[in-house]
Amino acid sequence: MDMNGGPRIVGFLCNWCSYAGADMAGTSRMSYPPNIRIIRVPCSGRVDPLLVVKSFQQGADGVLVAGCHPGDCHYTEGNYYARRRFALLRPLLDFVGIEQERLRLEWVSASEGRKFSRAVASFQEELERLGPRGHRG
Amino acid sequence: MSRFLSLDGLLAWLDGLLKEGTVVVAPTLVEGVSLYQPVPAAAEIDLDGGATVLSPKEWLFPQSHTLFTVERRDGAAELKEGTFDGRAVLFGLHPCDALGVHLMDVPFLAEPADASYRERRERTALVGLSCTRCRPECFCTSMGTAPDDPAHLDVMLTPVEGGYAVAAASEKGEALLASAVLEEKAVPLPEPPVPDRLPTEDLPRVFRALFGHAYWGRVADRCIHCNICSYVCPTCYCFDVRDYSRGNTAERVQSWESCQAPGFARIAGGYEPRPSKAAKMRQRFAHKFLYFPEAFDGPLSCTGCGRCVRSCPVNIDIREIIGDLQRIGVSSVGSGEKQD
Amino acid sequence: MVEEVRDKARELLSAGTVECVIGYERATDGITARPLFAYSPEEADRFILDRTCVHNLARYLLDRKGKPTAVVVKPCDSRTINLLVHENQIERDKVFAIGVTCPGVVEAHWGETTEGLQSRCGSCPLEVPVVYDHLITVPGERQPRTGFPELEKLEAMSPQERLEFWQQQFQRCIRCYACRQVCPGCYCPICFVDQLDPMWVGIKIAPPENQVWHLIRAFHLAGRCIECGECQRVCPVNIPLMLLNQKLTAEVEGMFDFRPGLDAETLPPFATFRKEELEAER
């Protein structure tokens, strides 16, 4: 649990699109839940499943990975690899008791501040519905 | 020996100890795997099983534990040591494992003693169980003990009809038995089983002579350099210590390590003193049969429990190696290729 | 057919075609098998071949890079050769594969074997090795392919039940890394668990760290695991590791119609992509 009582969310946002999108949400004063801790990465393709699993091990209730829309990746194809990777990681996590819904992949462009803030809000709702993680680790 | 403890009496005695807060560490089945663990009730003890997969060294020298934590609070640092301040009984030790505890005492209690080990050791009583049968991998008599050897134990139990013949082997043991309901009864002790003997005569000298022999490369060909042999062994004791910090807390963790692991011997600059498979694999046997006896002026660092024989995925068999070394013999020094 | 193995080995060694033939010999318990590295025709006399020959010998090719080596491979083991050739770890022309057909192998641990076959043999899609330079036909009928029945049991549980199941399994893990060391797909010069900076896992042996270890290792093998089952066999505390690998194998096959090691050319799923395909979220 976050110190505000909400679920702890770790967000890996790609520098070029989704981080800028989140930034836009902020500058446009669109509110989104404060319990997401954002980590900027160059590309969603950089997000190693190890980072996700480690986040869960350290107490995260949910992990959000956000990148450019397919076809718009700043590095051309990073997000295509990310898409495959997380398509496979979610069932693996589910298989060991970490519900699939706790790992989310979103495509957020630099101008989609509203999409970002809605995504975080809906993720938070989902995580509240699922409840806190059963055991740590 | 004329004291008898019935099976029910044994369970009652141990449950009594548990009730007063003593930790009872005994062989128990964990999802079908026999391991030494603290048990919640005497009924959980696997009394008839063979050897556990891991040795009881786990209790005195945990796989992984926190030596101390440091917390920074209001500008001051508070250190909390990871102590064990209870009482424990290590129950069901076969003589090979009792010898194992004694061999662990040698490096860990020599001055300056390892504080964590000593604390646990002093607070733990050792209750042994004599062997009624030998497993195919046993060779304890070649390592200076025997299936009915009470040495290094506080209490020795020998399975007999309906229960156990009991002997206290120390004051600690006598005190421990005070709460047990013992009968004065003449109980005939069974003939102990007889494991196979290995030619361990003069092993350190033979080992030193054959240190550079090509034999090691041949055995090491199939070694996969995991940590299994070192971890199941009652007398392997290498460990690593590392500090972890997070925010205002730091903890120092000690954990088992194996000479077989990649990077075990690597030093700053990336130099590997044991780069070849042969050198790596040989190291474990060198420690047991050469370095340990030389450093501590005495016994081989092996108890004949056979766990490494049973658990090695590629059948590197310490008994075979001892036999091979003697067979190759000191006389053939110089006829093998030089290793590293 | 064991004479065929010995004859071929003697032939290869006498002719100098290879420096070493890796096969099986009887272990010291008189019941199970162990790897034998034969360097001379005389040593080849010790080779055996039967249902206790469970080891994946192709893994040892990683220790013998560049050295001409012959290796006895069952169908599952032969997939290793394709995997390692594709990933540029071994040279195909330095390997002489003595392929053997396989009716299945038993559970074999020192001192004992089972009557029945290993459960993974029921999921094996092959009867003949996928790559070989010489083929030896072993008599015996194969079990028909039955999918992954143990997976279904777990998938029927609730997430909480699965969480507890795996907690119990990972509690026993002693991080001996035998699973990693025996696996032909694990050959990183420095494994992520051994990295010091950043220290992803560290030396603490506890269920949370153990889970990170097993999940990430399984993921590193996703689309690469050739299902030899060695990881599960070597585990000294009987953790059902193949469940993790089989889960990923089933997912990879379902999503990408791919099973690794069947040839040395097809790009594995994580090395490629299609512009229009599955959406991972929700």
pLDDT per residue over B217-250, tens digit each? 999 999 999 999 999 999 999 999 999 988 899 9
Helix (H) or strand (E) holding A36: strand A36-41
pLDDT at C282: 38
Contact A70 C275 (CB under 8 A): yes
Say whether pLDDT at B338 is over 70: no
Residues of C with Cβ-Cβ distance to B64 under 8 angstroms: 203-206
Q: Are C170 and C239 in contact (CB under 8 A)?
A: yes
Which residue among A80, A106, A137 sits closest to C273, beta carbon to beta carbon?
A80
Contact C172 B35 (CB under 8 A): yes
Say whether pLDDT at C146 is over 80: no
Q: Among C59, C174, C192, C193, pick the best mutation site for testing chain B contact (most B Cβ within 10 A).
A: C174
Q: Among B36, B196, B224, B253, pick the best mutation site for testing chain C contact (most C Cβ within 10 A).
A: B224
Q: Are B21 and B85 in contact (CB under 8 A)?
A: no
Q: What is the mean pLDDT of residues C223-239?
A: 96
Which residue of C lies nearest to A106 if distances are taken between CA atoms? C281
Q: Count CB neighbours of C26 within 10 A.
A: 17
Looking at every residue in chain C, the average pLDDT score rounds to 93
Say whether pLDDT at A120 is over 80: yes
pLDDT at C276: 83
**CB distance from B243 to chain C under 8 Å?**
no
> How many Cβ pairs closer than 8 A exist between chain A and C?
109
Say whether pLDDT at C2 is over 60: yes
Which residue of C lies nearest to B259 if distances are taken between CA atoms? C176
Tell me which residues of chain B, numbers 311 to 340, contact chain C at a CB-CB cutoff of 8 Å.
Answer: 311-315, 317, 319-320
Work out the minimum CA distance from A84 to partner chain C, whole angstroms.
7
CA pseudo-torsion sign A14, A17, A21, A23:
positive
Residues of C with Cβ-Cβ distance to A81 under 8 angstroms: 270, 273
Residues of A with Cβ-Cβ distance to C207 under 8 angstroms: 135, 137
**CB distance from B310 to chain C under 8 Å?**
yes
Closest to B201 in 3D by CA, of B308, B323, B334: B323
Residues of C with Cβ-Cβ distance to A92 under 8 angstroms: 215, 218-219, 222, 244, 247-248, 251
| 3-state SS, one letter per residue, for chain C | CHHHHHHHHHHHHHHCCCCEEEEEEECCCCCCEEEEEECCCCHHHHCECCCCCCCCHHHHHHHHCCCCEEEEECHHHHHHHHHHHHCCCCCHHHEEEEEECCCCCEEEECCEEEEEECHHHHHCCCCCCCCCCEEECCCCCCCCCCCCHHHHHHHCCCHHHHHHHHHHHHHCCCCCCHHHHHCCCCCCCCCHHHCCCCCCCCCCCCHHHHHHHHHHHHHHCCCCCCCCCHHHHHCCCCCCCHHHHHHHHHHHHHHHCCCCCCCCCCCCHHHCCCCCCCCCCC
pLDDT > 70 fraction of chain A, expressed in percent and rounded? 94
pLDDT at C241: 97
**CB distance from B270 to chain C under 8 Å?**
no
Residue B56, helix vs strand vs coil:
coil
Q: What are phi and psi of A13, to 5 degrees?
A: -115, 135
Residues of A with Cβ-Cβ distance to C253 under 8 angstroms: none
Per-residue model confidence as pLDDT tens digits over A55-79: 999 999 999 999 999 999 999 999 9
**CB distance from B207 to chain C under 8 Å?**
no
Which residue among A50, A53, A94 sits closest to C159, beta carbon to beta carbon?
A94
**Rounded CA gap, B211 and B209, in Å?**
6
Contact C277 A83 (CB under 8 A): yes
Confidence of residue C92 (pLDDT cuts 50, 70, 90): very high
Residues of A with Cβ-Cβ distance to C218 under 8 angstroms: 92
Q: Count CB neighbours of C134 within 10 A.
A: 16
Contact C270 A85 (CB under 8 A): yes
Residues of C with Cβ-Cβ distance to A99 under 8 angstroms: 159
Which residue among C172, C191, C236 sits closest to B30, beta carbon to beta carbon?
C172
Say whether pLDDT at C214 is over 60: yes
Q: Are A55 and A10 in contact (CB under 8 A)?
A: yes
Work out the minimum CA distance from A45 to partner chain C, whole angstroms.
11
Q: What is the mean pLDDT of residues B173-178?
A: 93
Q: What are phi and psi of C116, to 5 degrees?
A: -80, 165
Token code pair at residue B283 = 């190291």
pTM of the model: 0.94
pLDDT at B178: 93
Contact C278 A98 (CB under 8 A): no
Which residue of C lies nearest to B30 if distances are taken between CA atoms? C172
**Rounded CA gap, C16 and C10, in Å?**
10
**CB distance from B275 to chain C under 8 Å?**
no
pLDDT at C277: 83
Confidence of residue B331 (pLDDT cuts 50, 70, 90): low
Say whether pLDDT at C142 is over 90: no
Q: In what order do the strands lie in the sheet with A36-41?
A: A36-41, A9-14, A62-67, A103-107
Looking at the DSSP assignment, which residues form a beta bridge with residue A104? A64
My answer on whether omega of the bond before B62 falls inside 30° of 0, hence cis, is no
Q: Are B26 and B92 in contact (CB under 8 A)?
A: yes
Residues of C with Cβ-Cβ distance to A90 under 8 angstroms: 280
Q: Are C95 and C106 in contact (CB under 8 A)?
A: no
| 3-state SS, one letter per residue, for C231-242 | HHHHCCCCCCCH
Long-range contacts of B281-286 (CB under 8 A, 24+ apart): B281/B216, B281/B219, B281/B220, B281/B223, B281/B225, B281/B316, B282/B211, B282/B216, B282/B220, B282/B339, B283/B259, B284/B229, B284/B230, B284/B236, B284/B258, B284/B259, B284/B260, B285/B207, B285/B318, B285/B321, B286/B207, B286/B211
Say whether pLDDT at A127 is over 50: yes
Work out the minimum CA distance from C278 to partner chain A, whole angstroms.
8
Residue A62, helix vs strand vs coil:
strand
pLDDT at C105: 94
Q: What is the CA radius of gyration of chain A?
A: 14
Neighbours of chain C (3+ CB pairs under 8 A): A, B
pLDDT at B332: 59
Q: What is the mean pLDDT of residues B21-27?
A: 97
Work out the minimum CA distance from C2 to partner chain B, whole angstroms.
20
The packing angle between helices A113-130 and A18-27, to 10°, is 100
Say whether pLDDT at C143 is over 70: no
Q: Are C17 and C34 in contact (CB under 8 A)?
A: no
Work out the minimum CA distance from C282 to partner chain B, whole angstroms.
33
Q: What is the mean pLDDT of residues B96-108?
A: 97
Q: Count CB neighbours of C50 within 10 A.
A: 14
Say whether pLDDT at C281 is over 50: no
Burial A74-107 (b: 16+ CB within 10 A, else e): eeeebbbbbbbbbbbbbbbbbbbbbbbbbbbbbb
**Rounded CA gap, C208 and B244, in Å?**
15
Which residue of C lies nearest to B309 if distances are taken between CA atoms? C110
Q: What is the mean pLDDT of residues B324-338?
A: 70
pLDDT at A56: 95
Q: Are A49 and A19 in contact (CB under 8 A)?
A: no
pLDDT at B1: 45
Residues ≥6 apart with Cβ < 8 Å to B177: B13, B155, B166, B168
pLDDT at B247: 87
Q: What is the mean pLDDT of residues C231-245?
A: 97
pLDDT at A28: 95
Residues of C with Cβ-Cβ distance to B257 under 8 angstroms: 203
Sort residue C205 into left (φ over 0), alpha (ψ -120 to 50) or beta: beta
Say whether pLDDT at C86 is over 60: yes
Contact C192 A50 (CB under 8 A): yes
Q: Are C52 and C101 in contact (CB under 8 A)?
A: no
**Rounded CA gap, B46 and C56, in Å?**
34
Looking at every residue in chain B, the average pLDDT score rounds to 93
pLDDT > 70 fraction of chain C, expressed in percent and rounded? 98
- How many alpha carbons fall within 13 Å on the CB side of residue B265? 14
Q: Count CB neighbours of A51 within 10 A.
A: 16
Give the amino acid at C102. C
Beta-strand relationship, C69-73 and C95-100: parallel
- How many alpha carbons fall within 13 Å on the CB side of residue B113? 12
Token code pair at residue A117 = 């803030």
Q: Count CB neighbours of C166 within 10 A.
A: 25
Q: Among B36, B226, B230, pick the best mutation site for testing chain C contact (most C Cβ within 10 A).
A: B226
